[in-house]
Amino acid sequence: MKKRPWLLFALITTIFWGVWGALMEIPLKEGFPATLGYIVWSVTMIPCALVGLWIIHWKLEYDWKSVVQGSVIGFLGAGGQLMLFHALLEGPAYLVFPIISLSPAVSILLSLLFLKERASIMNWIGIFLALVAILFLSYQEPNNTIVRSYLWLLFAILIFLMWGIQAFVMKFANLRMKAESIFFYMMLTGVLLSPVAYLMTDMDREINWGFRGPYLTAMIQVLNAIGALMLVYALRYGKLIIVSPLTNALAPVITVVISLLIYAVIPHIIVLIGMILALIAIFLLIR
């Protein structure tokens, strides 16, 4: 791990995101809207950002390049999340998630073109298997969701591009600025977009303001925030073409395993195949 610190940070990211993925639906089922969950998530980013600034002795980089790059990363990530709410209102989740799940392909392409990153043959096999695994792991059973329009496809494609570009810009920014500064601007942009999430919330519906509402959401969303900080560190030390498929393939596997243990939910055969492919891909990626 000392020789490959990126792997340690990437594994922490996947563990935290995997647990977060398994628990994030609990507040939703208890009556706390996802849009308000976004606001709570943005707040949980604040203490993580402060810890990061403390690590670098509060020496935040505030030159215009740092501000622009950090803000672009934040707006691409948080903006994509807000757009996802609209996509799921307009179209079926079983079509939306497979599209956006392949965003690492965009990151890999951009890293090859502009960062000139390279990988071994075994790594490339792992990257390919990871992308297939991510697609399989995002599978959801078709349901009777009413398709109001084809705007969901536009939203899904935009999110696919935004999240893929976000990872690339995150790696690019890590070449010239501190990871802690990057995360600070990610936090700041996330908070700035909170009013948008509030306006998207149907306040006429009954909302759970008890412990299983905002408080439980905060306990769960802080896992997401810590995972995001660890991802920035992973990209500081590691290659984007390795870190991106690794974290995106392993986190859903952890989510499925935890869901199986907690909820006794047997995953679909397609998801099981995705888990097997992901484990093979992970072995090849960390070689």
Give pLDDT tens digits for 79-122.
999 999 988 887 788 888 999 999 999 999 999 999 999 999 99
Over residues 233-263, the pLDDT tens digits come to 999 999 999 999 999 999 999 999 998 888 8
| pLDDT, tens only, 199-235 | 999 888 899 999 999 999 999 999 999 999 999 999 9
Q: How confident is the model at residue 144 (pLDDT cuts 50, 70, 90)?
A: low
pLDDT tops 70 at residue 1: no
The string of DSSP codes covering the chain is --S-HHHHHHHHHHHHHHHHHHHTHHHHHTT--HHHHHHHHHHHHHHHHHHHHHHTTT----SHHHHHHHHHHHHHHHHHHHHHHHHHHHS-HHHHHHHHHTHHHHHHHHIIIII-----HHHHHHHHHHHHHHHHHT-----------THHHHHHHHHHHHHHHHHHHHHHHHTTS-HHHHHHHHHHHHHHTHHHHHHTS-TTS----SIIIIIHHHHHHHHHHHHHHHHHHHHHHS-HHHHHHHHHHHHHHHHHHHHHHHH-PPPPHHHHHHHHHHHHHHHHHT-
